[in-house]
Structure 1
Amino acid sequence: MSPLSILLVGFAMSTDAFAAAVGKGAAMRKPRFADALRAGLIFGVIEAITPIIGWLLGRAASQYVEAFDHWIAFVLLGALGVHMILAGLKPNEEEADEASSDKPRHGFWALAVTGFATSIDAMAIGVGLAFLDVHIGVVALVIGLCTLTMVTLGIMLGRVLGTLAGKRAEIIGGAILIIIGCTILYEHLNAAG
């Protein structure tokens, strides 16, 4: 995987966390930078750990699926991309309820649960990356740093942008994952042919 592809994966994995952060930022009363950075750290650490867990699971199964590993990566990335695009197109009732709540929840555990929920796709990416020649530590670090940055920005921009920008970011992230999946499949089929 090229450095650009790794950076694009990091960005794509951070878009759903960004969407959630924009919603959280809209629900918070005038979030300070320290609040945004704290949320970014929580999300970033969780988002960096989950692809490693997925990678370990994928490595355990890699000897059984070596002949069609490129198809697995393609299907996982494509399915996650489509899922992110569909999630970005439909309204999120939870964010609307949270924005109208008198007591917005942004404590550690609420942020950690939200961070974990948005990192399930990163775990699936880790499974797909187990079948490729890639250093998972570098990918996990890039995903974590991208998420830290995007969540911090999302919290700070939440008041201004509302949920619209977050949803568009999720759609873009999904499209990026589909493109990367197609690229992996194309490169493998081209090398085999």
Structure 2
Amino acid sequence: MNIDFLMGEILTLCIVAFALGMDAFSIGLGMGMVKLRLQQIFRIGVVIGLFHIIMPLLGMAAGYFLSGVLGEVAVYIGGALLAILGVQMIYASLKKDEAPFVTPTGYGLLLFAISVSLDSFSVGLSLGIYGTKPLLTILMFGLFSMVLTWFGLLIGKKVQEHFGTYSEALGGAILLGFGLKLLLPI
């Protein structure tokens, strides 16, 4: 395998992992406004990181299956899914209702982690169709989302609602860009 190709794939995965983690970051900013102890912040980040490993892994498994069945058309389906997800994230960032749906403790934490990581299932599906390396992908998704969740929660503790909307819109724009890249190869 060509080292340039591998480095390009790693860079691409880092950017996608960052884009997915921005969703967790922006939600973490809002949740950080709730009075949380550092131990809770640590636990929330780890749980969200684990769900950002599990959900794309499930999506990639489904994507590999679809890739074998659909062949070349599968790449365009994956691109369309990424583009739709990006538009959805941008749209969600423009909505004014930013009240947290759940509190990040107990069962609320599990529900919170599932809701934050659902988009990574779709991205995993797209990347599974595209044929990326599963272990590298899920580890990067988990690491980026965990660290960005921690940052969001910690900054949310200190700062009032300045970055949440913009970071989710940035994540959506990145996913939209990668979706368009797959749909319109140059």
The match for 1:123 is 121
Q: Which moved more, 1:110-119 or 1:162-171?
A: 162-171
Separation (CA, whole Å) in 2 of partners of 1:113 and 1:163: 22
The match for 2:70 is 65
| AA at the equivalent of 1:50 | M
Aligned partner of residue 104 in structure 2, secondary structure: coil
Is the 2:63–2:129 Cα contact (8 Å) retained in structure 1? yes
- CA drift at 1:79: 0.3
The partner residue of 2:97 within 89, 92, 113 is 92
| Mapping of residues 95-106 of structure 1, within 5 Å | 95=100, 105-106=103-104
The partner residue of 2:32 within 15, 25, 35 is 25
| AA at the equivalent of 1:171 | A
The match for 2:152 is 154
Separation (CA, whole Å) in 1 of partners of 2:87 and 2:167: 13
| AA at the equivalent of 1:94 | A
Separation (CA, whole Å) in 1 of partners of 2:52 and 2:179: 20
Is the 2:64–2:131 Cα contact (8 Å) retained in structure 1? no
The match for 1:11 is 18
Separation (CA, whole Å) in 2 of partners of 1:90 and 1:39: 25
- CA drift at 1:63: 2.3
Q: Which moved more, 1:156-165 or 1:117-126?
A: 156-165
* Number of aligned residues: 179
Q: Which moved more, 1:60-69 or 1:84-93?
A: 60-69
Separation (CA, whole Å) in 2 of partners of 1:40 and 1:2: 26
Separation (CA, whole Å) in 2 of partners of 1:67 and 1:93: 40
Is the 1:82–1:175 Cα contact (8 Å) retained in structure 2? yes
TM-score, normalization by structure 2: 0.88
| AA at the equivalent of 1:55 | M
- CA drift at 1:93: 4.4
Is the 1:71–1:185 Cα contact (8 Å) retained in structure 2? yes
The match for 1:109 is 107
- CA drift at 1:35: 2.1
- CA drift at 1:89: 0.9
The match for 2:142 is 144
Deviation digits for residues 59-114 of structure 1, max 9, x if unmatched? 2222221121221111001000000001111122433x87xxxxxx3313211211
Separation (CA, whole Å) in 2 of partners of 1:93 and 1:135: 35
Could you tell me which runs of 5 or more consecutive residues in structure 1 were left unpaired when the two chains were aligned.
99-104
TM-score, normalization by structure 1: 0.85
Matched-pair identity in %: 27
Aligned partner of residue 18 in structure 1, secondary structure: helix
The match for 2:40 is 35
Separation (CA, whole Å) in 1 of partners of 2:71 and 2:80: 15
Separation (CA, whole Å) in 2 of partners of 1:133 and 1:57: 11
Aligned partner of residue 170 in structure 1, secondary structure: helix
Could you tell me which runs of 5 or more consecutive residues in structure 2 were left unpaired when the two chains were aligned.
1-7
The match for 1:133 is 131
Is the 1:9–1:177 Cα contact (8 Å) retained in structure 2? yes
